[in-house]
Amino acid sequence: MNETAYTNRRTKLLEMITEGVIILSSAPTKTRSNDTEYSYRQNSDFYYLTGFEEPNSLLILSKTKESTRTILYVEPHSDEYALWNGAVLGVTNAQQQFLVDEVHNIIEYPNHIKEILRDHIHLYFDFLDDSHHLKVAQNSAKELRETRGVKLHVRTFGDATYLVRTLRLTKSHEEIEAIRQAIELTALAHHEAMRVCKPSMREYELQAAMSYIFGVNGVKSEAYGAIVAGGNNANTLHYVRNNDTLRDGDLVLIDAACEWELYASDITRTFPVNGKFTEAQREVYNAVLDVQLRVIEAIKPNVKRDWLQKYSEELLCQALIDLGILNGQCDALLEAKAHKKYAPHGIGHWMGLDVHDPCPYTDDKGESLCFTTGMVMTIEPGVYLRIDDESIPLKYRGIGIRIEDDILVTDEGCENLSSVIAKSVEDIEGMCRG
């Protein structure tokens, strides 16, 4: 992503407000145990506006009727810190690299913020931010309000993240290309898992095979904790233990993907441990696949996401009736939510800098958003048939299937960004044969 892209995003953000100050902070470092930390991952909103990946940094945007101002606060260079942890960019290098008006040492922020807030009436920030930096800004706003002679002071607070995430909803060409790259590498990993899988392996061995593919291809981080669920484990939606034995005759559900330049992919495939679907597995699998293909086909601009969810539930309910898992009229079963026992989750979610991109799903009136060109959403129907559910035909018990792809809304309709990953019964069996 070039620096102009970040500048354009900041400009668009400032165009969304009449005047005021926007403060966004970097993600904090997080302790794993005692004095060791998790690998650092930048706050997505902060990264979206800056491209800066270091902790203990701040972005401040201010706007008046006459002008705008962009200030970045960063950690200064320290020889001692560089010795132990590696050099940070520092003030001088950050000023040269980033197209902002000013770059300052983060230590100077408490002395600057009161002057920055002076004569502004709106302050925008992340409502969930409990950092020291935000408390300093709030205290400065309070002091200005109580200072004689200050005619204008902060009197309203706004949600900065809602504004940023509204912008994040529509992806640029550069963002889509980053997502494509993440998916391309994720495809290699899923295909490797299909090729190496065999009975008696452990779930974590498949996870390790995928992680190896990610690592040797330069992936810095996986997009989320992998799910590798053999047999009935697939019927636990967020199964992450990944330590069971893969059994001959079972399916294995893998929900795993990587990030590229912090942009996520999110892919699920379900395939036979021994490389060959049983007749019962094929029946359920093809029923779920048919639902997914029909839902994807319906995606185009001006279609509402709420309608897509309703449509997907109708298709899943009818599929469960056709399989003999549910009995009755589809409308009545939908009204009673009987299908939710076997298809409990939504059809998909926004995806981008976060695997579950926290962009809005409704407009200011609470109405479901329509799809527009540049939105990216996962489509992931699933059917989960627990092994201990005696109401299910015996041949289907223990089968859990989810199929998930990443879909880009286009001017004409949509594009399945992950279509390269084996998905039909025939393609999966061929990939399993290597």
pLDDT (0 to 100) of residue 251: 98
* Model confidence pLDDT, tens digit, residues 152-175: 889 999 999 999 999 999 999 999
Name the pLDDT band for 67 (thresholds 50, 70, 90). Answer: very high
pLDDT in tens, 91-137: 999 999 999 999 999 999 999 999 999 989 999 999 999 888 999 99
Catalytic residue among 32, 148, 173, 238: 238
Catalytic residue among 75, 203, 250, 266: 266
Backbone angles phi, psi at 80, to 5 degrees: -65, -45
Q: Is 161 exposed, middle or buried (0-12, 13-18, 19+ CB in 10 A)?
A: buried
Q: Is the same domain home to 205 and 297?
A: yes
- At residue 131, the pLDDT reads 87
- Our answer to whether residue 339 is catalytic in this structure is no
pLDDT for 147 beyond 90: no
Kindly report the CATH number assigned to the domain that includes residue 69: 3.40.350.10
Annotated catalytic residue, options 356, 389, 415, 429: 356
**Catalytic one of 3, 345, 363, 367:** 345
Choosing from 255, 259, 354, 357, the catalytic residue is: 255
Tell me which of 354, 357, 380, 405 is the catalytic residue.
380
Asked if residue 179 and residue 162 are part of one domain, the reply reads no
End residue of a domain, out of 168, 183, 198: 168
Distance CA 414, CA 429 (A): 27
Sorted by sequence, the CB contacts under 8 Å of residue 53 that are 6+ apart come out as: 40, 42, 47
Which residue, 136, 168, 200, sits at the end of a domain?
A: 168
Same domain, 182 and 133: no
Taking only the tens place, the pLDDT of each residue in 358-409 is 999 999 899 999 999 999 999 999 999 999 999 999 999 999 999 999 999 9
Number of domains in the chain: 2
- 2: pLDDT strictly greater than 90: no
**In this model, does residue 1 exceed pLDDT 90?**
no
Question: What value does the mean pLDDT take over residues 19-31?
Answer: 96
178 and 288 together in one domain = yes
In the set 384, 396, 405, 406, the catalytic residue is 384
User: Could you confirm whether 402 is annotated as catalytic?
Assistant: yes
Return the percentage of the chain with pLDDT > 90, whole number: 92
The answer to whether residues 54 and 160 belong to one domain is yes
In which band, very low, low, confident or very high, does the pLDDT at 327 lie, cut at 50, 70 and 90?
A: very high
Active site residue 255: yes
96 and 202 belong to one structural domain: no
Q: Are residues 333 and 385 in the same domain?
A: yes
**Same domain, residue pair 415 and 381:** yes
Q: Which residues of 200-228 are buried (b: 16+ CB within 10 A; e: fewer)?
A: ebebebbbbbbbebbeeeebeebbbebbb
Q: Which of 126, 342, 402, 406 is catalytic?
A: 402
Domain of residue 279 covers 173-432
Helical axes 132-145 vs 109-117, angle rounded to 10°: 40
The model's pLDDT over 200-226, given as tens digits with 9 standing for 90+, comes to 999 999 999 999 999 999 999 999 999
Active site residue 190: no
349: annotated active-site residue: yes
Q: What is the pLDDT of residues 226-280, one digit of tens each?
A: 999 999 999 999 999 999 999 999 999 999 999 999 999 999 999 999 999 999 9
Is 90 exceeded by the pLDDT of residue 77? yes
3-state secondary structure of 302: coil
Whole-prediction pTM value?
0.96
Residue-level pLDDT at 298: 98
User: Is 256:186 a contact under the CB 8 Å cutoff?
Assistant: yes
Same domain, 163 and 178: no
Quick one: what percent of the chain has pLDDT higher than 70? 100
Catalytic pick from 250, 404, 405, 406? 404
Judgement on whether residues 75 and 127 belong to the same structural domain of the protein: yes
pLDDT of the residue at 277: 98
> Between vectors from CA 405 to CA 402 and to CA 408, what angle results, nearest 5°?
150
- Which CATH number is 356's domain given? 3.90.230.10
pLDDT of amino acid 152: 83
104, two tokens: 């300052």
Whether residue 43 sits in one domain with residue 81: yes
Residues 240 and 325 in one domain: yes
Helices and strands per DSSP (H, E), number in the chain: 13, 18
Catalytic residue from among 165, 349, 354, 357: 349
Query: Which is catalytic among the residues 32, 35, 130, 390?
Result: 35
**Which residues 6+ apart lie within 8 Å of 415 measured at CB?**
407, 408
Measure the N-to-C terminal CA separation of the chain; round to a whole number of Å: 36
Domain termination site, one of 102, 136, 168:
168
Tell me the C-alpha to C-alpha distance, in Å, between residue 294 and each of 28, 283, 313, 349, 368.
Answer: 42, 17, 12, 17, 21
Rounded to an integer, the average pLDDT of 188-196 is 98
